[in-house]
Amino acid sequence: MTEIGRLREVLTEDIPDTDSRESVFRAANDIADELDRRDLLNRPTGLALGYVQSGKTTAMTALAAECADRGYSVIIALLGVTNLLLSQNTSRLIGKLGIETRSDYRWVSIANPSGRASASEIEDWLGKGRTVLIPVLKNAKRINDLANALASIGEVAHLKCLVIDDEADQASLNTLVRSGEESKVYSAIDHLRSVIARHGYIQFTATPYAPLLLEANDPLFPQFVCFLEPGKGYTGGREFFMDHAEQVIRYIPAADEQGSKLPIEFPSSLRAALWNFVIGSAILDKSIAASRPISMLIHPSSRKDAQDRYFFLLTREIADFIRRAREASSISDLAPEAVKEYERLIRGGASDLKFEELLEGIRYVLSEVKTWLLHSATAVKQVDWNLSPFHILIGGNKLDRGFTIEGLTVTYMNRPSSDQIDTIEQRARAFGYRAEFLPYCQFFSSARTIKMLREVVVTEYDLRSRLVDSVENGQSIAEWAQEIGLLLPEGSKPTRDNVVVSLSRAYSGWRQLRRPILSEEAVAHNWKLASEFGLLDAPLIDYQRLSFRTMESEVDSAMKFLNDWQFDPGVSRWEFEEWLKIIDRHSPHQTSMIFVLMEQDAGTSLARSRVRKVLPEEGYINLFQGRDLNPQTDGIQYPGDRLLWPIIDSPSNVLVQVHRVHPREIQNERMLTLAIYLGDREMVRKGRRNE
């Protein structure tokens, strides 16, 4: 039986849905085909792009099986920057491949090999025809030790090898690229790749922003990309922060965000989260089969002393919960927060239990719950999920990337938000649960963290859709990076500054066609266009003191209107088309657009053009009317053209203003021009060296 055939049988139980299961094998086959086409002597680098918590380890296992069937003798897996992550991923990979349970002597696994003894062992197994799996910690010394061991085996230079780099955007990249030097892990990977002459290097990640923005000549810049599809029922950022946000998202007070001072008392918002977890676990355990283990994550800070304090406070709080549950004769005896969380769970779709059964379940959860403190100073090297059906994990950096928290239902993340997209996205370990568990999922965090995570959903889906389009149209990834790039939330950055050489940012906020159109034909064309569009007769909407004709249009109609607009030939057609590209990228997330006709005394018999000064090069000066400097007698104050309420209410959405305006020197009441608000997101692309 082939390795893929055997794995198909193994995954039938783990992934019951046939389509989801087959998509895993399809991706493995596509990657292996790409490697075959590109010749392993060229050491091709590819990117396998998944979603956070969407089964990338399963995809890595399938790729290992596929490559084993195609004659790859050595499969190296860089599986984490911590021993905790390495242990978790190694056990999964070995378990699915059946290396420790099979009796057909096909595979052997040797973790973190070093020295002549390891080299001899690998050489011996290769001589016996084994496929050698080598899990390695993503650490410079470990990787160099492996490279040196393999270098002493002459046969390796002729064998087909595969390198799998899990969480490839972390630690692997050159953090000294701007200084022209090489960081230790990056240099070690380069050393390893020089030893295994015939190999493919496949990067796995859900946050590919850094690899995609590398210089095209960087050996870790991917030449091709494969898109991993999540299984049926996968719940990710869209489900959490958009589709089911009202049910899942819980805002904590800004004061409960962990700062420099350690908490003295257990935060009230964390108490609510803990009750939600205990009650939800009690219901879930009795309502849905095979729901164990069920877990909660508390992520307060990267600081170990903060994690220690929360662990201490949590232990004390659970003891109080146990006392309350022991003495309770009704749900109101537990705590006011318990009543509220129970009612919220029921409203959200959780199963309703009789109080006696619920109280029994609560007592059971509290008696069994296992708390874990996970940072570098603790003795815990891995979580034993079989130790208890219920778990609460407290940690920071060890738990915010790659690590899978089994059965995670409640997340309490009061760590301050990061402006780095790949970091904040990887921190959301809550994703991946089946849709039927959503009534029990809660995500507690501050407003600014939740806003950033919601915006990241747009970035993630825009990235995938635009990258797919580019690949399908025959563009290279380097061309995508320079011409299309990323759509990022305002004030954010895609990745850490020290791994990319240059980025270009553009096109958020307002853009204007400032040069007046003087051609009579063009003036008449735009006036007719606005009239037929319905804007000249649109209803008046109040914008505080001033009112303007306002209409809403579906995006397709809006784009046709903008594409038909005529403007001064002196304005770069390329620049205007760039604006339209940005608007088009908003269309999956914005179904309609607001148009506002800006004119003097709108809606009255005196309605007329505004008059503005025009300079030869700059065009219209002060096209926008500013805010009222002083409130009117009734207290109403116009906020200015740039800050109309649709922009304040929905700062990420596109809005179009059609300004009825003419130069002082020219009297023409039908002259129009455009000002477009392109949302508060930015286009970030790979910069060229001279930018």
Please tell me what DSSP assigns to residue 420. B
Same domain membership, residue 266 and residue 171: no
Phi, psi torsion values for 7, nearest 5 degrees: -65, -30
Return the exposure string of 645-684: e unless at least 16 CB atoms fall within 10 Å of the residue's CB, then b: ebbeeeebbbbbbbbbbbbeeeeeeebbbbbbbbbbbbbb
Structure tokens, 145:
């030790």
Same domain membership, residue 89 and residue 184: yes
Return the exposure string of 339-355: e unless at least 16 CB atoms fall within 10 Å of the residue's CB, then b: bebbebbeebebeebee
Q: What confidence score (pLDDT) does residue 326 get? A: 95
Q: What confidence score (pLDDT) does residue 434 get? A: 66
| 462 occurs within a structural domain | no
With contact defined as beta carbons under 8 Å apart, do 11 and 21 qualify?
yes
Same domain membership, residue 195 and residue 67: yes
Give the mean model confidence (pLDDT) for residues 28-32. Answer: 97
Q: What confidence score (pLDDT) does residue 552 get? A: 96
With contact defined as beta carbons under 8 Å apart, do 397 and 302 qualify?
yes
Distance of CA 46 to the CA centre of its chain: 20
With contact defined as beta carbons under 8 Å apart, do 90 and 79 qualify?
yes
Name the pLDDT band for 147 (thresholds 50, 70, 90). Answer: very high
| 145 occurs within a structural domain | yes
pLDDT, greater one: 203 or 687 = 203
Structure tokens, 400:
């915010």
Structure tokens, 442:
């809660």
| 394 occurs within a structural domain | yes
Q: What confidence score (pLDDT) does residue 555 get? A: 92
* Closest of 412, 393, 414 to residue 404, by C-alpha: 393
The Cα angle at residue 546 between residues 540 and 547, in degrees rounded to 5: 5
| 339 occurs within a structural domain | yes
Name the pLDDT band for 572 (thresholds 50, 70, 90). Answer: low
- Per mean pLDDT, which of 52-56, 136-140, 570-574 is the most reliable? 136-140
Same domain membership, residue 217 and residue 247: no
| 584 occurs within a structural domain | yes
Report whether pLDDT(690) > 50: no
Q: What confidence score (pLDDT) does residue 318 get? A: 97
Q: Cβ neighbours of residue 372 under 8 Å, at least 6 residues apart?
A: 380, 383, 391, 392, 393, 394, 395
Q: What confidence score (pLDDT) does residue 616 get? A: 80
Same domain membership, residue 451 and residue 522: no
With contact defined as beta carbons under 8 Å apart, do 207 and 427 qualify?
no
Same domain membership, residue 220 and residue 250: no
Same domain membership, residue 114 and residue 136: yes
Give the mean model confidence (pLDDT) for residues 433-450. Answer: 88
Q: Which residues pair with 161 in a beta bridge?
A: 74, 199
Q: Cβ neighbours of residue 392 under 8 Å, at least 6 residues apart?
A: 277, 295, 296, 297, 298, 314, 369, 370, 371, 372
| 479 occurs within a structural domain | no
Give the mean model confidence (pLDDT) for residues 614-631. Answer: 86
With contact defined as beta carbons under 8 Å apart, do 554 and 592 qualify?
yes
Q: Quote the longest CA-to-CA distance of the chain.
A: 94
3-state SS, 444-498, equals EECHHHHHHHHHHHHHHHHHHHHHHHHHHCCCCHHHHHHHCCEEECCCCECCCHH
Domain count across the chain:
3
The Cα angle at residue 256 between residues 255 and 257, in degrees rounded to 5: 90
Tens digits of residue pLDDT in 86-129: 998 999 999 999 999 998 999 999 999 999 999 999 999 999 99
* Closest of 100, 93, 83 to residue 164, by C-alpha: 93
Tens digits of residue pLDDT in 500-559: 998 988 767 898 998 898 899 999 999 999 999 999 999 999 998 899 999 999 999 999
Domain boundary among 409, 429, 455: 455
pLDDT, greater one: 678 or 632 = 678
| 587 occurs within a structural domain | yes
Q: Report how far apart, in Å, the C-alpha atoms of 285 and of each of 339, 350, 437 are.
A: 19, 11, 11
Q: What confidence score (pLDDT) does residue 53 get? A: 81
Tens digits of residue pLDDT in 256-300: 999 999 999 999 999 999 999 999 999 999 998 888 999 999 999
Q: Which residues pair with 165 in a beta bridge?
A: 78, 203
Name the pTM for this structure.
0.84
* Helix (H) / strand (E) containing 326: helix 304-327
Same domain membership, residue 18 and residue 135: yes
| Three-class DSSP category at 664 | coil
Structure tokens, 520:
């009579």
Structure tokens, 200:
């493919």
CATH code for the domain in which residue 19 is found: 3.40.50.300
In percent, the amount of the chain with pLDDT more than 70 equals: 98
| 464 occurs within a structural domain | no
Tens digits of residue pLDDT in 355-397: 899 999 999 999 999 999 988 778 676 789 999 999 999 998 8
Same domain membership, residue 204 and residue 152: yes
Please tell me what DSSP assigns to residue 658. E
Distance of CA 285 to the CA centre of its chain: 30
Written as one letter, the residue type at 671 is: M
Same domain membership, residue 174 and residue 69: yes
* Closest of 245, 211, 206, 208 to residue 229, by C-alpha: 206
Cα gap 528→521, rounded to integer Å: 11
> For residue 208, what are the domain limits?
3-227
Same domain membership, residue 115 and residue 160: yes
Structure tokens, 185:
């892990």
With contact defined as beta carbons under 8 Å apart, do 295 and 406 qualify?
yes
Return the exposure string of 438-457: e unless at least 16 CB atoms fall within 10 Å of the residue's CB, then b: bbbbbbbbbeebbebbbbbb
Domain boundary among 227, 253, 271: 227
Give the mean model confidence (pLDDT) for residues 306-324. Answer: 96
Tens digits of residue pLDDT in 162-183: 999 999 998 999 999 999 999 9
CATH code for the domain in which residue 280 is found: 3.40.50
Task: Output the DSSP codes for 504-572.
Answer: EEE--SEEE--SPP--HHHHHHHHHHHHHHT-TTPPEEE-SS-EEEEEEEEHHHHHHHHHH----TTS-
Please state whether the peptide bond connecting residue 135 to the residue before it is cis, i.e. omega within 30 degrees of 0.
no
Q: What confidence score (pLDDT) does residue 507 get? A: 60
Q: Cβ neighbours of residue 334 under 8 Å, at least 6 residues apart?
A: 275, 321, 324, 325, 328, 362
Residue where the block lists tokens 């339209």: 580
Cα gap 168→648, rounded to integer Å: 38
Report whether pLDDT(432) > 70: no
- Per mean pLDDT, which of 187-196, 488-497, 565-574, 602-611 is the most reliable? 187-196
Same domain membership, residue 275 and residue 314: yes
What angle in degrees, to the nearest 10, is found between the helix axes of 184-195 and 140-151?
20
Written as one letter, the residue type at 90 is: T
Report whether pLDDT(619) > 80: yes
Cα gap 474→472, rounded to integer Å: 5
Report whether pLDDT(561) > 90: yes
Average confidence score pLDDT of the chain:
91
Q: What confidence score (pLDDT) does residue 691 get? A: 44
Tally the residues of the chain. Answer: 691
Task: Give the range among 430-434, 464-468, 598-602 with minimum mean pLDDT.
Answer: 430-434
Domain boundary among 175, 192, 227: 227
